[in-house]
Amino acid sequence: MAKLVRRAMRSKKLTCVSIAFFLLLCQFVQLEAQLQVGFYTSSCPLAEFIVKYEVSKGFFSDRGVAAGLVRMHFHDCFVRGCDASVLIDSTSSSTAEKDSTANNPSLRGFEVIDNAKARLETLCQGKVSCADIIAFAARDSIEITGGLGYDVPAGRKDGKVSLSSEASANLPAPTFNVNQLTQAFANKGLTQEEMVTLSGAHTIGRSHCTSFTTRLYNFNATTNQDPSLDPLYASQLRQQCPKGSTIPNLVVPMNPGSSATMDSGYYMDVLANRGLFTSDQTLLTNQDTADQVNQNAMNVFLWRRKLAAAMVKMGQIGVKKDDTGEIRSNCRKIN
Ligand SMILES: *[C@@H]1O[C@H](CO)[C@@H](O)[C@H](O)[C@H]1NC(C)=O
């Protein structure tokens, strides 16, 4: 009798295991099939073209918009997945991601997304998600600044929640060291090498002084200036970002030698102790990340390919395809 019960239990366990395996397989297949290159080919054939047009229009009136849009995709994907939660406006009862200190006042490019969305709603109402518009716009921004273009798998839906607290909890800070950075990217399924590759996007754009002035004026109890920062660069930065300045939104270019081009200038800067943030300079403190900085500095073609691949992978974080998402008609508001 006991033997029989045991056998029955064993076979039940086996069935459970095989069901679990089957479910896992289904999930895997589903994950693989989640996004699709050319997703709008029949539902809105001009979608990608219109986004590209709006990105170039924005870029030619303000080149900094390109860096803004790459950063927007990153800040979207790291918080609740790539679901355009970063675009939702705060309401009287809820402070949204875009108003967290990580995003406000530094995040920009919103008008490019709004313009593209408005045209797409006129042309093919309710078809193109805001999350996909951000993903396309980030790709176009990389391309327009001399990076490598790549196919963007699409079909994301837009999320219905945006919380400021989640932005600060998920976005890596400019003060992070290499271990904290690695962990923040690992939390999103990205490798340390992809973290180094994506950091290279700091080769374009600008930064608010507040993101690094600690390195210039009050590093620690024994030294005001971060010893890992080139002293000449530090003195230039002190002129651009005076201590205790009350000028709002004071900014400096990242990679000042070529701050509008997707070149390997960022990695050259880091090698010369001219990485602007702690989170840039820290890449030299670990053997593996330092090796990659070297490689990328020496081979810009390799880096551009790696960047394209890492952007595609980042663009798949936490994607929604079902009823947990929707196609917003206005990117700033839940339907
Ligand atoms: C300040 O930083 C320097 C350089 O990293 C270090 O040598 C020193 O020990 C630090 N001092 C304190 C009090 O943490």
- Atom of ligand 1 at shortest distance to CA of 221? 13
CA 211 to each of CA 87, 160, 164, 241: distance values in angstroms, whole numbers, following the listed order: 22, 30, 18, 11
Best mutation site among 217, 220, 273 for ligand 1 pocket (most ligand atoms within 8 Å of CB): 220
Give the residue ranges of the annotated binding site: 76, 79, 81, 83, 85, 97, 172, 202-203, 263
Which pLDDT value is given to residue 14? Answer: 47
Q: How many other C-beta atoms can be found within 10 angstroms of the C-beta atom of residue 166?
A: 17
Closest CA to 88 of 26, 161, 165: 161
222 lines ligand 1 (CB under 6 A): yes
Peptide linkage before 172 cis (omega within 30 of 0): no
Judge whether 47-170 and 178-313 match in fold: no
Cα gap 271→256, rounded to integer Å: 15
Which pLDDT value is given to residue 118? Answer: 98
Closest CA to 319 of 159, 162, 160: 159
pLDDT in tens, the chain (335 residues): 455 545 555 555 444 445 454 444 444 444 444 899 999 999 999 999 999 999 999 999 999 999 999 999 999 999 999 999 999 999 999 999 999 999 999 999 999 999 999 999 999 999 999 999 999 999 999 999 999 999 999 999 999 999 999 999 999 999 999 999 999 999 999 999 999 999 999 999 999 999 999 999 999 999 999 999 999 999 999 999 999 888 888 999 999 999 999 999 999 999 999 999 999 999 999 999 999 999 999 999 999 999 999 999 999 999 998 889 999 999 999 99
239 lines ligand 1 (CB under 6 A): no
Helix or strand holding residue 128 (H, E):
none
Which pLDDT value is given to residue 247? Answer: 85
Number of helices (H), then strands (E), in the chain = 14, 2
- Ligand 1 center from residue 282 Cα (angstroms): 15
The domain locations on the chain are 47-170, 178-313
- Ligand 1 center from residue 220 Cα (angstroms): 6
Q: Where are the beta strands (DSSP E) in the chain?
A: 206-208, 251-253
Closest CA to 316 of 31, 4, 24, 85: 31
Instruction: Give residue 36's identity as a one-letter amino acid code.
Output: Q
Which pLDDT value is given to residue 139? Answer: 98
- Atom of ligand 1 at shortest distance to CA of 227? 4
Q: Kindly report the backbone phi and psi dihedral angles of residue 251, in degrees, each rounded to the nearest multiple of 5, phi listed first.
A: -130, 155
Cα gap 201→125, rounded to integer Å: 33
Which pLDDT value is given to residue 124? Answer: 97
| Residues forming the active site | 75
* CATH architecture for segment(s) 47-170: Orthogonal Bundle (1.10)
Closest residue CA from atom 6 of ligand 1: 222
- Atom of ligand 1 at shortest distance to CA of 220? 1
CATH 1.10.420.10 fits 178-313, yes or no: yes
- Ligand 1 center from residue 236 Cα (angstroms): 23
- Ligand 1 center from residue 76 Cα (angstroms): 35
Is there a contact between 293 and 176 (Cβ–Cβ < 8 Å)? no
Closest CA to 297 of 285, 286, 306: 306
Q: Kindly report the backbone phi and psi dihedral angles of residue 333, in degrees, each rounded to the nearest multiple of 5, phi listed first.
A: -135, 145
Give the residue ranges of the annotated binding site for heme b: 202
This prediction has a pTM of 0.90
227 lines ligand 1 (CB under 6 A): yes
4 lines ligand 1 (CB under 6 A): no
Q: Kindly report the backbone phi and psi dihedral angles of residue 327, in degrees, each rounded to the nearest multiple of 5, phi listed first.
A: -105, 105
- Ligand 1 center from residue 223 Cα (angstroms): 7
Give the residue ranges of the annotated binding site for substrate: 172
